[in-house]
Amino acid sequence: MSEPASLSADAEPDPIKAIPLRHPGRWIAAVVVVVLFGLFAYGAATNPAYGWGTYGRYLFDTRISQGVWFTLQLTVYSMIIAVILGVLLAVMRLSPNPVLRSAAWVYLWVFRGTPVYVQLVFWGLIPSIYKTVALGIPFTVQFATFDLQALYTAFWFAVVGLALNEAAYMAEIVRAGINSVGEGQMEASVALGMSWSQTMRRTVLPQAMRVIIPPTGNEVISMLKTTSLVAAVPFTGDVYGRARDISGANFEPIPLLLVASTWYLAITSILMIGQFYLERYYSKGASRQLTGRQLRALADAQAPDATADPRANENGRI
């Protein structure tokens, strides 16, 4: 009597036929969204006010292409300066020196508390406020004097204005990333004989990058769009400035706005792809979600050995 019982215990249960729940509300919502999008696309395609012919004619215009190049330069140069200055400000915020902490706090208070457009206007007026800048020992010897009105270049003043504003936000991002790493990590690195620079390079920063990269990617994208405000300096060589100049000549602002928006979307999409791969690289080992290969290896490790004697369990129960 015991043998049939053991066989029935070893037999696999019948698979359960699971019937998925139906969600008609999801399908109705999807149909409504698709219909609305189709109506909008059809209306935009047939509306002559959009000026699609003008849009196609100026999308790859040489002046627009030069504006795209200047926009990329503004973004890259400003972010490089902002990251370097942001790291310095973050270190000052974490410093035990109260003077450095206070100076960094005042910087962040000023540049985060005033609009970036207003700051750019001030940078455009710098040559009028400070006509000359002298380098030397105050009230004694002057080694060099620079005439800002003669050296004035709207492009570089725009870069400096954007960078100084962005550095205030990057400082908080870097500070949050460094604070996210436990103190035990640094203590363990010091115990292993690492210097401070080795600890930061090998232990702290690789772990902090998981916190720093996502908001930094967002800041780069935001900086790309903020370059459209450099007309306040004034600098009109960016893509939006070029589109606005062309629309002022042909009196068709709508298609030129669409041209500038298309280029902003294209560059932003590329930046988002790069951000995705950077986040995935620096998040290695941080995610608890197993990959498909890891799940298969775990299942194979827990599965019974197929080569084992199937009567082993039965003999063990007899």
Total of domains in the chain: 1
pLDDT of residue 295: 67
Task: Specify which residues 142 forms β-bridges with.
Answer: 136
In a domain, 12, yes or no: no
Which residue is listed with tokens 């903020």?
Answer: 226
For the residues 183-205, what does the mean pLDDT come to?
A: 78
For the residues 294-313, what does the mean pLDDT come to?
A: 60
Q: Tell me: the pLDDT tens digits for 114-132?
A: 999 999 999 988 888 887 7
Question: How crowded is residue 165: how many other Cβ atoms within 10 Å of its Cβ?
Answer: 23
In a domain, 24, yes or no: no
Q: Does residue 35 sit in helix, strand or coil?
A: helix
Residue-range definition of the domain harbouring residue 261: 47-283
In a domain, 136, yes or no: yes
Least confident among 35-39, 210-214, 307-311: 307-311
Q: Tell me: the pLDDT tens digits for 28-72?
A: 999 999 999 999 999 988 999 888 999 999 999 999 999 999 999
pLDDT of residue 270: 93
pLDDT greater at residue 296 or residue 275: 275
158 membership: H or E segment, kind and range = helix 154-179
**Residue partners of 279: CB distance under 8 A and separation at least 6:** 210, 213, 214, 217
Computed from CA positions of residues 242, 155, 72, 162, in that sequence, does the dihedral angle turn out positive or negative? negative
pLDDT band at 292 (very low <50, low <70, confident <90, very high): low
Question: What CATH number should be reported for the domain holding residue 200?
Answer: 1.10.3720.10
pLDDT band at 153 (very low <50, low <70, confident <90, very high): confident
In a domain, 252, yes or no: yes
CA distances from 254 to 25, 205, 260 (A): 38, 46, 10
Mean residue pLDDT of the chain comes to 83
In a domain, 244, yes or no: yes
In a domain, 110, yes or no: yes
Residue 272 has pLDDT above 80, yes or no: yes
In a domain, 144, yes or no: yes
Find out whether 287 and 210 touch, Cβ atoms under 8 Å: no
pLDDT band at 317 (very low <50, low <70, confident <90, very high): very low
pLDDT greater at residue 14 or residue 3: 14
pLDDT of residue 261: 94
**CA distance from start to end of the chain:** 11
pLDDT band at 318 (very low <50, low <70, confident <90, very high): very low
Q: Tell me: the pLDDT tens digits for 253-270?
A: 999 999 999 999 999 999
pLDDT of residue 316: 46
In a domain, 184, yes or no: yes
Find out whether 282 and 177 touch, Cβ atoms under 8 Å: no
Distance CA 285, CA 297 (A): 17
Q: How many residues does the chain have?
A: 318
